Amino acid sequence: MTIFIQFLDYNLRDLIIDGPNLPTIRSENGDVIPKPMNTYNDDDRRRVQINTKAKHIIICAINSNDFNRISSCILAKEMWDRLEVTILYCIDLYWTVLYCSGMK
């Protein structure tokens, strides 16, 4: 899947692995908060669109069970991290079953 993502947009892989750089502002008390959408400039829209593009690619590549696990995620990185945990669990389970069935 990594090659496919890089084929579409080489920067998407970095966004998915490292997380997006979504637009933020500092509030009056100094906290960093998401920037309101009505104040986005062209660069802000581009950054949000890249995250949305990455989410779309991930969603198109998975089955309905995995979709249910990640549909509530806001960031592509969150989706990727949840899928990674699921896949690693399945691989561990596969090897455990394979190992245990060989012991009989």
What total of structural domains would you count in the chain? 1
62 within 8 A of 84, measured Cβ to Cβ: no
- Enclosing domain of residue 11: 2-102
Rounded CA-CA distance 12/6 in Å is 7
pLDDT digit string, tens, across residues 47-100: 899 888 888 888 888 888 888 888 888 888 898 888 888 776 666 656 666 566
Query: Does pTM top 0.85 for this prediction?
Result: no
Grade residue 45 by pLDDT with cuts at 50, 70 and 90.
very high
Residue 104 has pLDDT above 60, yes or no: no
pLDDT digit string, tens, across residues 5-14: 778 888 888 8
